[in-house]
């Protein structure tokens, strides 16, 4: 077992109080596993990923443990954690394109970093060069300054530097977000290649883009409002999701080959709850079309089927063969509970109910991606 996270709680300090950005999260990542971690903006996925390597100023470790290769990671202790950074845990940050010091040559930046970790650049240089060419960068990149490279090239250079010491765990935070579709695929393939070549043992790929995860991830974990909602094999998540939130996420994705006119894309109505004052019970219940009284109790995140963990009463009952979770109201229509709930959740919001419409950029953070992803199918649908 490569990574094992138990009951991890990370708070995020804001001016309006502490936010439980990661709340009692438990999961494991096996050796050689690429785990996709997906969710809307604000779901805590990025906080979760970053907390495994570097708790930034506003982040605080509240509880829980993280074990890597059987040893505990001292994530709350900045200094003690330093020993593990880059060697055991590494990261390709969300801001990878601007992660390199603009006034330092890439080679000498790597030298400084390695020296600080107790290595010499000369020792890893051949390997460094091999990886540089693997990611498709010219050989002389080591003697270049970041501003001489394009954004995509800088990101690849960051990928290579981050993984130079063959870490056990690599966190790739939104590495595909700023790229166009073809580059997304290329970077995704590089990540799997890094895993296959043993540059990294296992990987957590954080993204809001389920389609890229479907391509590269072995397992997918869905996060919602600081909690894990569902984890299973990538194919299971895509084909047979159990959690209503996962289902909603997938139905908001355009399908390849589907004509735009045939099926209307839907966003998820309502907004994720504010984490400042968390409601008790299932956090998705205010947007969930199937919500029942039962959902006032918090559903446990448990393995319902082999290798398939879900935190949902409905899923749990269905797996056990219990019914009674029929869709409330007419099938296919936007659930009314969600919308009402969304309004209640946001006191003081200046926006009127109108802005809660699905598809509104304010209302669902998924919406922008939906329109991004649309490009391909629309192109097909419209000759």
Q: Which of 128, 49, 136 is nearest to 94 (CA)?
A: 49
Determine the distance from the C-alpha atom of residue 353 to the mean position of all C-alpha atoms in its chain, rounded to a whole number.
Answer: 29
- Does 99 participate in binding another protein (rule CB under 8 A)? yes
CB neighbours of 253 closer than 8 A, spacing ≥ 6?
210, 211, 370, 373
Q: Which stretch binds another protein (CB under 8 A): 112-120, 231-239, 255-263, 286-294?
A: 112-120
- Does 83 participate in binding another protein (rule CB under 8 A)? yes
* Among 95, 120, 344, 378, contact with another protein (rule: CB under 8 A): 95
β-partners of residue 17 are 14
Inter-helix orientation angle 106-116/151-162, to 10°: 20
Q: CB of residue 303 vs another protein: minimum separation in angstroms?
A: 26
- Does 53 participate in binding another protein (rule CB under 8 A)? yes
Q: Which two tokens stand for residue 112?
A: 């400084």
* Among 62, 113, 186, 214, contact with another protein (rule: CB under 8 A): 113
* Torsional sign, CA 38, 44, 47, 52: negative
As a whole number of angstroms, the distance between CA 175 and CA 171 comes to: 10
* Among 34, 86, 228, 367, contact with another protein (rule: CB under 8 A): 86
If the CB atoms of residues 326 and 350 are measured against another protein, the closer one turns out to be 350
- Does 19 participate in binding another protein (rule CB under 8 A)? yes
Q: CB of residue 324 vs another protein: minimum separation in angstroms?
A: 35
* Among 2, 162, 176, 202, contact with another protein (rule: CB under 8 A): 162
- Does 155 participate in binding another protein (rule CB under 8 A)? no
As a whole number of angstroms, the distance between CA 303 and CA 310 comes to: 6
Q: Which of 252, 226, 286 is nearest to 7 (CA)?
A: 226
Residue whose entry in the numeric block shows the structure tokens 């996270």: 5
Task: Determine contact, residues 286/345, Cβ cutoff 8 Å.
Answer: yes
If the CB atoms of residues 137 and 225 are measured against another protein, the closer one turns out to be 225
- Does 16 participate in binding another protein (rule CB under 8 A)? yes
* Among 4, 38, 44, 304, contact with another protein (rule: CB under 8 A): 44
Burial profile 106-135: b = 16 or more Cβ within 10 angstroms, e = fewer: bbebbbebbeeeebebeebeeebeebbebb
3-state secondary structure of 252: coil
Q: CB of residue 98 vs another protein: minimum separation in angstroms?
A: 4
- Does 94 participate in binding another protein (rule CB under 8 A)? yes
β-partners of residue 85 are 89
Q: Which stretch binds another protein (CB under 8 A): 93-101, 178-186, 324-332, 336-344?
A: 93-101
Q: CB of residue 246 vs another protein: minimum separation in angstroms?
A: 18
Q: Which residues are at the interface with another protein (CB under 8 A)?
A: 12-16, 19, 21, 41-47, 50, 53-54, 56, 58-59, 81-87, 90-91, 93-95, 98-105, 112-113, 116-117, 145, 147-148, 158, 161-162, 173, 349-350
């Amino acid at each position: 077992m490569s990574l094992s996270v138990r009951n991890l709680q990370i708070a995020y300090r804001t001016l309006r109080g502490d936010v439980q950005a990661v709340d009692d999260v438990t999961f494991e990542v096996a050796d050689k596993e690429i785990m996709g971690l997906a969710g809307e903006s604000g779901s805590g996925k990025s906080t979760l990923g970053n907390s495994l390597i570097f708790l930034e100023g506003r982040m605080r470790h509240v509880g829980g443990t993280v074990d890597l290769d059987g040893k505990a990671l001292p994530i709350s202790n900045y200094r003690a954690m330093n020993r593990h950074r880059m060697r055991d845990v590494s990261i390709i940050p969300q801001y990878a394109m601007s992660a390199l010091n603009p006034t330092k040559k890439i080679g000498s930046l790597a030298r400084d970093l390695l020296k600080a970790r107790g290595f010499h650049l000369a020792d890893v240089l051949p390997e460094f060069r091999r990886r540089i060419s693997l990611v498709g960068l010219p050989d002389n990149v080591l003697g270049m300054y970041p501003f001489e490279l394009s954004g995509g090239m800088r990101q690849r250079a960051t990928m290579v530097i981050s993984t130079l010491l063959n870490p056990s765990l690599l966190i790739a935070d939104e590495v595909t977000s700023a790229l166009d579709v073809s580059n997304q695929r290329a970077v995704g393939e590089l990540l799997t290649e890094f895993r296959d070549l043993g540059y990294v043992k296992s990987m957590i790929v954080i993204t809001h883009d389920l389609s890229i995860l479907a391509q590269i991830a072995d397992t997918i974990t869905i996060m919602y409002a600081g909690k894990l909602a569902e984890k299973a094999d990538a194919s299971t998540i895509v084909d047979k999701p159990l959690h209503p939130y996962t289902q909603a996420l997938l139905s908001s994705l355009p399908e390849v080959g589907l004509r735009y006119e045939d099926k209307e894309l839907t966003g998820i109505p309502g907004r994720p709850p504010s984490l400042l004052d968390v409601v008790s019970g299932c956090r998705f219940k205010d947007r969930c079309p199937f919500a029942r009284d039962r959902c006032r109790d918090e559903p446990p995140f448990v393995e319902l089927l082999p290798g398939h963990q879900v935190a949902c009463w409905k899923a749990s009952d269905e797996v056990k063969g219990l019914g009674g979770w029929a869709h409330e109201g007419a099938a296919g229509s936007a659930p009314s509970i969600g919308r009402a709930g969304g309004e209640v959740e946001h006191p003081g919001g200046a926006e009127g109910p109108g802005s809660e419409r699905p598809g509104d950029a304010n209302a669902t953070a998924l919406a922008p991606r939906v329109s991004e992803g649309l490009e391909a199918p629309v192109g097909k649908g419209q000759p």
